[in-house]
Structure 1
């Protein structure tokens, strides 16, 4: 249970720090970008380093980077389907989930899979 308390406190502090950073930057859309994913990732990596060591956290970092790349590919495909193919949102996102899965598992396999 204490892991969740630490994750909550560290995550909250990092979210606050990133929100302040996002408030200073322009455009204001950076505030939401900096407030979510980086803070959760940093809290998770801090706990991973504390509990399992640096090599385990390095594997987690590679997984996070592969996931971010796969999300970027997914987002690009969704935008192309919505704008160029003029698809509705639900079919475009459902179709793009297949692309996301292929990208995520492809990057995971290229990185060596489960170690």
Structure 2
């Protein structure tokens, strides 16, 4: 139960800090970008360090990096499918999901979770 309370408080503080930081930049779309993923990742890593130690958190951070790289590949594929091939959103995102899975699990299998 205390983990959830710590996660709630740490996540709230970090989300608020990133939202304030994002609100200071232009365009305002940075506020949404900075308010979500980085703050949740930092809160999760903080809890992982406290509960499991730095080696576990390091492995977890590598999987987050692999997921971010896979998300970048997914985004490029979705953009190409939507703009170049004029697919609708549902088929484009469904097809690109296979790219995300292949890249994420390929990086994890090829490079592992530790530094």
**TM-score range with shorter-chain normalisation?**
over 0.9
**Distance in structure 1 (CA, Å) of the matches to 2:64 and 2:75:** 16
Q: Which runs of 4+ in 1 moved over 4 A?
A: none
For this pair of structures, how many residues does the alignment match?
114
**Distance in structure 1 (CA, Å) of the matches to 2:112 and 2:11:** 30
Gaps of 5+ in 1: none
TM-score, normalised via structure 2 length: 0.96
Gaps of 5+ in 2: none
Q: Call closer, same or farther: CA 1:18–1:59 in 2, change over 3 Å.
A: same
Considering Cα pairs closer than 8 Å and 6+ residues apart, tell me whether 1 or 2 has the greater RCO.
2
For residues 50-69 of structure 1, the aligned pairs below 5 Å read 50-69=50-69
**Corresponding residue of 1:88:** 88
How well do the aligned residues superpose, as a CA RMSD in angstroms? 1.1
